[in-house]
Amino acid sequence: MTAREPSRSVPRLRFPEFECQRGWPLTTLGAVLDEHGLKSDGTSDVHSVSLAKGIVPQVEHMGRSFAASDTGHYSLVRPFDVVYTRSPLASFKLGIVKQHRRDYNAIVSPLYGVFAPKNRHVGLLVEAFFESPARAFRYLDPLAQKGAKNTIQLSNERFLSGSLCLPEDEDEQQKVAECLGSLDELIAAEGRKLEALGQHKEGLMARLFPQGDESVPRLRFPEFQDAGHWEREPLSKLCDIKHGYAFEGEFFSDEGKYVLLTPGNFYERGGYRDRGEKQKYYTGEIPRDYVLNRGDLLVAMTEQAAGLLGSSILVLDSDKFLHNQRLGLVTKKIGVAWSNEFFFYVFNTQPVREAIHGSASGMKVRHTSPTKIGQVVVSFPASLSEQQRIADCLSALDARIAAQTGKLDALKQHKQGLLQQLFPSLEGEAQ
């Protein structure tokens, strides 16, 4: 009696030189990963595991180290090792899996699982397998046990016991890994360009707006060099801020004519964020005073997520977006020289954001109010033409940032589509 042939699956997209070979076998993760159990070598830095950046120095990722004073019990991570975190994220509720791509040793929390791959190529394939939230959940959920406080209890042994399809031929492993690795390098390069543009904008804003006690900015357009000092006034003297309407939850919908704006529609750096499938619409009766017009200026008065408090947006279209509660509609007072485009950037300068944040109250979620925002003192040129010149300069840079963001997002979507074709379907694995 012969042993039964292991289940095999064929990916939809395969390199030509391997098309005549048998499908990928169904194997356990433990067949390609080993838990080495090595502890801190006493010289390596503590690293975090980031969804976007992989395994990175904790100081670089979080601004400072959160490690224990004694890291002797931390796990050692060598180049090409694979790390599994049990920390839940919004899309990855059972943790993430990343390969250490850097050429030095690191240490990570002892709560993480650290594994040595049979070779570096199969380690990258394991990371790629877990990049799909659906695929990661389908693999991990049957193995996980939920604790009393909904904590994830999944031992390293159980993590390795699950099954997946991988190429058994090391040449095919290398080919697929190199394809994905080159795409990762391109995504990383485009990500660095986006980061550089963001840093450039941050530096430019610090020069285009007065800092501290300065009465003029360090960088001024030539035609305004002799225009005199900028004004300094509390916002309450320049504008009014109106609370939004408490729309009734029973009329919230996943589709409709009117977009219900929330702080989730604000980027931390300012600007409108399209929430895609998560966007909420409103289908009930709408007070006309709370239907917004193109160019209206809104400020977030609640910190729904870190960094959102005080962020501002300019409304994209008329008769489409609703002025919801927790958002302040900013309108200039009569006789004030005020450009919404310019003051959109004023709200997103670091000193103003810090002042708004400092005015807020609340333990878990911080809130502010129109009155408190009105007490914030801002600097601005009295000339509308200078305000608009600055706004035009920064909006042109924002357009470049938006284009680069779109390019990066397109590459990431391309990779996700490629992964769906390079890996056999989950249904195929179960057969």
pLDDT at 1: 39
**C-alpha span between 113 and 157 (Å, rounded):** 10
Q: Global pTM?
A: 0.84
* Residue keyed to tokens 């609703």: 322
pLDDT at 363: 77
In a shared domain, residues 238 and 160: no
Q: How many domains does the chain have?
A: 2
Last residue of a domain, one of 166, 181, 198: 166
Is 2 inside a domain boundary? no
Residues with Cβ within 8 Å of residue 299, at least 6 apart in sequence: 241, 310, 311, 312, 327, 328, 330, 347, 356, 373
Do the Cβ atoms of 130 and 93 come closer than 8 Å? no
* Residue keyed to tokens 């209206």: 296
In a shared domain, residues 132 and 241: no
Q: Which tokens go with 240? A: 């009014």
* pLDDT tens digits along 289-300: 999 999 999 999
pLDDT at 285: 92
In a shared domain, residues 239 and 369: yes
**C-alpha span between 369 and 364 (Å, rounded):** 17
Is 431 inside a domain boundary? no
Do the Cβ atoms of 365 and 306 come closer than 8 Å? no
Structural domain boundaries, residue 152: 26-166
HEC profile for the chain?
A: CCCCCCCEECCCCCCHHHCCCCCEEEEEHHHCEEECCCECCCCCCEEEEECCCEEEEHHHHHCCCCCCCCCCCCEEECCCCEEECCCCCCCCCCCCEEECCCCCCEEECCCCEEEEECCHHHHHHHHHHCCCHHHHHHHHCCCCEECCCCCEECCHHHHHHCEEECCCCHHHHHHHHHHHHHHHHHHHHHHHHHHHHHHHHHHHHHHHCCCCCCCCCCCCCHHHCCCCCCEEEEHHHCEEEECCECCCHHHEECCCCEEECCHHHECCCCCECCCHHHCCEECCCCCHHHECCCCCEEEECECCCCCCCCCEEECCCCCCEECECCEEEEEECCCCCCCHHHHHHHHCCHHHHHHHHHHCECCCCCECCHHHHHCCEEEECCCHHHHHHHHHHHHHHHHHHHHHHHHHHHHHHHHHHHHHHHCCCHHHHHC
pLDDT at 5: 56
* pLDDT tens digits along 79-93: 999 999 988 888 898
pLDDT at 351: 92
pLDDT at 430: 39
pLDDT at 148: 59
* pLDDT tens digits along 248-272: 989 999 999 999 999 999 998 899 9
In a shared domain, residues 265 and 352: yes
Is 428 inside a domain boundary? no
Instruction: Work out the angle at residue 430's Cα, subtended by the Cα atoms of residues 428 and 431, and round it to the nearest 5 degrees.
Output: 70
User: Domain with 341 in it: what CATH number?
Assistant: 3.90.220.20
Is 240 inside a domain boundary? yes
Is 254 inside a domain boundary? yes
User: Domain with 110 in it: what CATH number?
Assistant: 3.90.220
**C-alpha span between 3 and 382 (Å, rounded):** 85
Task: Indicate the pairing of strand 321-322 with strand 258-260.
Answer: parallel
Is 414 inside a domain boundary? no
Is 369 inside a domain boundary? yes
Q: Which tokens go with 339? A: 């450009």
Below-50 pLDDT ranges, the chain: 1-2, 428-431
